[in-house]
Amino acid sequence: MVAVHGGPGLDHMTVKSALGPLAEDFQVVYFDLRGHGRSDHSSAEFWNMRSWADDLRRLCDALGPDKPVVLGSSFGGNVALAYAGLFPDHPGGVILANTTGGRSDQQRVIEAFGRLGGPEAAEVARRTYADETGEYQAEFHPGLLPAV
């Protein structure tokens, strides 16, 4: 399994603790996206889905697994989907964890938080989506994560 971390701006440590127990039965490779963690930081012009998907394929080719299973967590799910879309015959499977896989229907997400966490969680989600200043982003984790 090749694990692609969330972000942007994070590294493989965000998924390593959760996937660590799998290492007893499977080989798990932690992949830091270009410009993140321990990877080549290169330059911002290469920090895009196409480059990250190409890098992921080249990593898998270099390591040699036939039909690798790629797990994308959060933002890494978008990268995993880009990789699978560009190279559909390459992966053996794609696992999406805690990701929208791209754009989400904000109203449906707000309603889901309301069902799971009540009106207060729905209101925090609504403010977070509407916030262009970042003021409400601090509410997201304590206000929404307990709801899910």
CATH assignment of the domain containing 54: 3.40.50.1820
Domain count, the chain: 2
Taking only the tens place, the pLDDT of each residue in 8-42 is 777 788 888 888 888 889 899 998 888 888 887 77
pLDDT of amino acid 133: 56
For residue 143, report the phi and psi dihedrals to the nearest 5 degrees. Answer: -85, -30
Name the maximum alpha-carbon separation found in the chain.
49
Domain that holds residue 124: 106-147
Record the pTM. 0.67
**Does the structure show a pLDDT above 90 at 69?**
yes
The whole-chain average pLDDT of the chain stands at: 80
Alpha helix locations (H) across 8-105? 13-19, 49-63, 75-86
**Same-domain status, 66 and 38:** yes
